[in-house]
């Protein structure tokens, strides 16, 4: 269990020197206990006290690094129950199940298809991270599929088997790609724990209930294994959701260190079709799975999950933005119209989506408004005529088009005069107020 503020205070130097940024050692102790301060902020903690305080200053849910390469990720490390309290840090990772009995050609085809499932949004590449390779009883096949996934794709592996010998061989086959072992149970905890320790692999702990997880976790941490992921074993929807919430709450609110690890959920074992699995996965992204295992990846089901994940794991106190600049849509040329808008991500998505849907080639200039929408930015003085005009001058668009006309959002109609002063010789045209009217507007020109 985590130490209380008073217990931490007893271990501090009690000089009230203020170097940690707060007036007293007691205040620092309270901040440390609530996770608002880090132990390194006090330069005077003795080594002995530091060791004792390490537990108190550790994050309530351990961040666990999985895999290697471009699809490596960290799961866990969360500090709040609700994202509006602060933010969620480490996005849920998605895995697709592949049986070890899959023929080599089918595996190669699947990996190619899965690899193509990447989507660009707000300057980010949205993609799944893992393949869950399931042992079907043939050790050689299990090892070969793990090796193929690790060596020929960017994906990292979850290795699913209760056979310790097969697991050890498959972990080796993954080479430097640190796989996630699934799973240590009451029946094989010693053997799986030894493999995880020897090979420095992360390990899922699986039990039939949250209560049964605790002694298993304690046993494995007692063996010196730190990187654990929890599967409470529940596969009925209501119970599975309750367990996810219980584990998160116990770690954050009760300081239960045995449950202070990321979790794994298995929609692939809770439904008999991918559509229902996807709906369950959506629940687990929101509350609170670190890793979700699906039976397959399909573009139409994966894409909404990736978008949901993007939204859940962004800081709610900071508007999402896109980079200021020139965006070409539908292959514009020197005669194509030029539109300007703000860099609030939602505004950009809607405006660019409507232009795209119109099939009309156009240049879209996105001005940095610190993530405010057009109307809000205008009201806040961040989308005024002088600034927008100056941005257009500097943007480089003048080298790309012959004409001298820019279309501004209808909500910013009042900036026309100032823009025309800033851009002599240019025509400033007021476009529609609503993005939905952009296609008709462009086609009518």
Q: What's the closest the beta carbon of residue 52 comes to ligand SF4, in angstroms?
A: 15
Residue among 28 and 348 whose Cβ is closer to ligand SF4 = 28
According to the binding rule CB under 6 A, does residue 12 interact with ligand SF4? yes
- Choice from 1, 6, 10, 15 touching ligand SF4 (CB under 6 A): 15
Nearest-angstrom CA–CA distance, 303 and 322: 20
Segment near ligand SF4 (CB under 6 A); pick from 11-19, 225-233, 321-329, 347-355: 11-19
Nearest to 113 by CA among 142, 153, 145: 153
Segment near ligand SF4 (CB under 6 A); pick from 12-20, 227-235, 311-319, 416-424: 12-20
Classify burial at 85, counting beta carbons within 10 Å of its beta carbon; exposed 0-12, middle 13-18, buried 19 or more.
exposed
Contacts with ligand SF4: how many residues (CB under 6 A)? 12
According to the binding rule CB under 6 A, does residue 305 interact with ligand SF4? no
Rg over alpha carbons for the chain, rounded to the nearest Å, is 27
Q: What's the closest the beta carbon of residue 42 comes to ligand SF4, in angstroms?
A: 3
- Provide DSSP, 201-259: -EEEEE-SSHHHHHHHHHHHHHTT---EEEE----SHHHHHHHHHHHHHHHHHS--GGG
305 — phi, psi (to 5°)? -65, -40
Q: What's the closest the beta carbon of residue 25 comes to ligand SF4, in angstroms?
A: 3
According to the binding rule CB under 6 A, does residue 42 interact with ligand SF4? yes
Residue among 4 and 87 whose Cβ is closer to ligand SF4 = 4
Report the relative pairing of strands 362-367 and 325-329 from DSSP bridges.
antiparallel
Q: What's the closest the beta carbon of residue 32 comes to ligand SF4, in angstroms?
A: 8
Q: What's the closest the beta carbon of residue 12 comes to ligand SF4, in angstroms?
A: 5
Segment near ligand SF4 (CB under 6 A); pick from 18-26, 233-241, 309-317, 324-332: 18-26
According to the binding rule CB under 6 A, does residue 19 interact with ligand SF4? yes
Enter the DSSP assignment of 336.
S
For 296, residues 6+ apart whose C-beta sits below 8 A from its C-beta are 96, 97, 274
Site string for ligand SF4, 123-162 (x = CB under 6 A): ----------------------------------------
Residue among 15 and 317 whose Cβ is closer to ligand SF4 = 15
Residue among 53 and 146 whose Cβ is closer to ligand SF4 = 53
Q: What's the closest the beta carbon of residue 10 comes to ligand SF4, in angstroms?
A: 12
Q: CA 383, 389, 391: angle at the middle one, nearest 5?
A: 80
- Choice from 4, 5, 7, 16 touching ligand SF4 (CB under 6 A): 16
Segment near ligand SF4 (CB under 6 A); pick from 14-22, 288-296, 388-396, 398-406: 14-22
Residue among 14 and 393 whose Cβ is closer to ligand SF4 = 14
Q: What's the closest the beta carbon of residue 31 comes to ligand SF4, in angstroms?
A: 9
Helix (H, G, I), strand (E, B) or coil at 115: helix
Nearest-angstrom CA–CA distance, 306 and 139: 33
For 291, residues 6+ apart whose C-beta sits below 8 A from its C-beta are 66, 75, 92, 93, 94, 95, 130, 158, 180, 229, 262, 263, 264, 265
Enter the DSSP assignment of 413.
G
- Choice from 17, 140, 307, 379 touching ligand SF4 (CB under 6 A): 17
20 — phi, psi (to 5°)? -80, -5
According to the binding rule CB under 6 A, does residue 9 interact with ligand SF4? no
434 — phi, psi (to 5°)? -100, 135
Residue among 10 and 359 whose Cβ is closer to ligand SF4 = 10
- 3-state helix, strand and coil shares in percent for the chain, rounded to the nearest 5: 45, 15, 35
Report how far apart, in Å, the C-alpha atoms of 201 and of each of 64, 173, 179 are: 10, 12, 6
Q: What's the closest the beta carbon of residue 349 comes to ligand SF4, in angstroms?
A: 46
Residue among 28 and 383 whose Cβ is closer to ligand SF4 = 28
- Choice from 1, 6, 10, 13 touching ligand SF4 (CB under 6 A): 13
Cis status, amide bond into 183, omega within 30 of 0: yes
- Choice from 2, 11, 20, 340 touching ligand SF4 (CB under 6 A): 20
What is the binding site for ligand SF4 (CB under 6 A)?
12-13, 15-20, 25, 28, 42, 44
């Amino acid at each position: 269990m985590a130490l209380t503020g008073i217990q931490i205070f007893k271990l501090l130097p009690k000089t009230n020197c203020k170097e940690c940024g707060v007036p007293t050692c007691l205040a620092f102790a309270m901040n440390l206990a609530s996770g608002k301060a880090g132990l390194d902020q006090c330069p005077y903690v003795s080594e002995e006290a530091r060791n004792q305080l390490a537990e108190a200053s550790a994050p309530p849910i351990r961040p666990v690094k999985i895999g290697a390469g471009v699809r490596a990720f960290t799961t866990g490390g969360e500090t709040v129950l609700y994202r509006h309290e602060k933010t969620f840090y480490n996005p849920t990772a998605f895995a697709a199940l592949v049986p070890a009995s899959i023929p080599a050609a089918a595996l190669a085809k699947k990996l190619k298809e899965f690899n193509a499932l990447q989507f660009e949004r707000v300057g980010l590449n949205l993609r799944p991270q893992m393949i869950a390779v399931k042992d079907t009883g043939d050790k050689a096949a299990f090892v070969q599929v793990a090796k193929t996934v690790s060596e020929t794709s960017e994906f990292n592996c979850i290795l699913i088997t209760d056979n310790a010998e097969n697991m050890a061989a498959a972990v080796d086959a993954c080479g430097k790609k640190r796989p996630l072992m699934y799973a240590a149970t009451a029946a094989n905890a010693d053997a799986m724990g030894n493999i995880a320790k020897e090979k420095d692999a992360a390990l899922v702990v699986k039990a039939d209930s949250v209560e049964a997880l605790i002694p298993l976790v304690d046993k494995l941490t007692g063996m010196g294994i730190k990187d654990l992921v929890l599967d409470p074993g529940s596969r009925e929807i209501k119970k599975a959701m309750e367990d996810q919430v219980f584990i998160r709450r116990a770690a954050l609110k009760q300081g239960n260190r045995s449950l202070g690890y990321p979790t794994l959920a298995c929609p692939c074992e809770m439904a008999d079709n991918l559509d229902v699995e996807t709906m369950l996965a959506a629940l687990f992204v929101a509350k609170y799975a670190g890793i979700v295992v699906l039976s397959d990846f399909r573009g139409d089901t994966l894409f909404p999950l990736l978008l949901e994940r993007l939204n859940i794991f962004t800081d709610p106190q900071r508007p999402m933005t896109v980079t200021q600049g020139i965006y070409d849509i539908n292959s514009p040329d020197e005669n194509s119209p030029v539109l300007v808008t703000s860099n609030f991500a939602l505004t950009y998505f809607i405006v660019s989506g409507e232009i795209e849907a119109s099939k009309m080639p156009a240049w879209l200039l996105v001005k940095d408004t610190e993530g405010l929408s057009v109307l809000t930015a205008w009201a806040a003085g961040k989308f005024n005529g002088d600034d927008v005009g100056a941005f257009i001058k500097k943007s480089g668009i003048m080298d790309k088009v012959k004409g001298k006309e820019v279309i501004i959002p209808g909500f910013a109609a009042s900036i026309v005069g100032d823009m025309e002063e800033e851009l002599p010789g240019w025509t400033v045209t007021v476009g529609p107020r609503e993005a939905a009217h952009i296609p008709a507007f462009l086609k009518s020109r």
